[in-house]
Amino acid sequence: MNPNHLASAAASSSVDHGRRYAGRRALVTGGGSGIGQATVLRFLEEGGSVVAADVSGAGLADTAHKAGVAAERLTAVVVDISDEGSVRSGVAEAVHTLGGLDVLVNAAGILRSSHTHLTSLADFRQVIGVNLVGTFLVTREAIPALQRGNAPAVVNFSSTAAGFAHPYMAAYAASKGGIQSMTHALAAEYAKDGIRFNAVQPGSISSGMTDGSGASRRSTGPGLPEDAERGHFAKLRPALGDGFAGPETVASVVALLGSEDGRFVTGTELRIDGGTHF
């Protein structure tokens, strides 16, 4: 086994999602937790070869453990998407390992919650730097390989925060709105190369980024301000189901957009929130 592969004795999922990714090569950022991890596992279940990139080595090890025997098709690369040098070397390693690239998923991101008038410039820049600039950097480095790929597709991560009011998250909303706009521009620019660009807008999803109430986990930064109006978030309840959905709900849509089933979809975004924002 490639020494970069993280092996595991854990059993892989018994759910059969088909083999849409057999022979497809994918790079997934944020692959060490949450929706990124769920996407990696879904691609592996469908037969793909995947490079999971994340700033957390421990998170990547957890992903490999959950992949079970499918980890033989998984390579882990530690990457800080806000750092240009790290992105350049990480994407180059991914393309070399996979022998090319067909699918890119920009799932990595951070969430910070605070009163805007109390938000420091450093904190605002950090959110923009990771979410928006990081998505740009990874995409820029991956495009040459995608231009040579098989039915190439990119799935970016916007958010319901890009189009609906989520208080205390001005920086996050700005970053996700930028990603959404950039996705449209990239789709138009690279349509001639056959590269599809789409974005997903998760909402009301329990993941490594949120605590299931719309608030950021303290493990990824400050939670809601102590004097926050909690009633704002009580409204963020999906019309479908009994509460927030799991990250695999979004991963299934990402898998659709990156596969041949999504071949006629580009330059758009798909909201996945169970009807929270009718």
Q: What is the dihedral of CA 85, 86, 87, 91, to 10 degrees?
A: 110
Q: What is the per-residue pLDDT for 245?
A: 85
Percent composition of the chain: helix, strand, coil (DSSP 3-state, to 5): 45, 15, 40
Asked if residue 1 belongs to a domain, the reply is no
Question: pLDDT tens, 228-259?
Answer: 665 555 556 777 777 788 999 999 999 999 99
Asked if residue 189 belongs to a domain, the reply is yes
Q: How confident is the model at residue 189 (pLDDT cuts 50, 70, 90)?
A: very high
φ/ψ (deg, to 5) at 60: -65, -40
CATH code (residue 109): 3.40.50.720
Q: What is the per-residue pLDDT for 240?
A: 75
Asked if residue 278 belongs to a domain, the reply is no
With 70 as the cut, is the pLDDT of residue 215 above it? no
Question: pLDDT tens, 111-169?
Answer: 999 999 999 999 999 999 999 999 999 999 999 999 999 999 999 999 999 999 889 99
3-state secondary structure 26-60: EEEECCCCHHHHHHHHHHHHCCCEEEEEECCHHHH
Element (H, E) at 177: helix 170-189
With 50 as the cut, is the pLDDT of residue 3 above it? no
Q: How many domains does the chain have?
A: 1
Asked if residue 117 belongs to a domain, the reply is yes
Question: pLDDT tens, 85-118?
Answer: 999 999 999 999 999 999 999 999 999 999 999 9
State the average pLDDT for the chain: 87
pTM (predicted TM-score): 0.86
Burial degree of 243 (CB within 10 A; 0-12, 13-18, 19+): exposed
Q: Residue 230 is which amino acid?
A: R
Q: What is the per-residue pLDDT for 29?
A: 98
Q: What is the per-residue pLDDT for 235?
A: 57
With 80 as the cut, is the pLDDT of residue 16 above it? no
* Residue range(s) defining the domain that contains residue 75: 25-272
Asked if residue 267 belongs to a domain, the reply is yes
Q: What integer is the mean pLDDT of 203-207?
A: 81
Q: In 46-101, which residue ranges form alpha helices assigned H by DSSP?
A: 57-67, 84-98
Active-site positions read 172
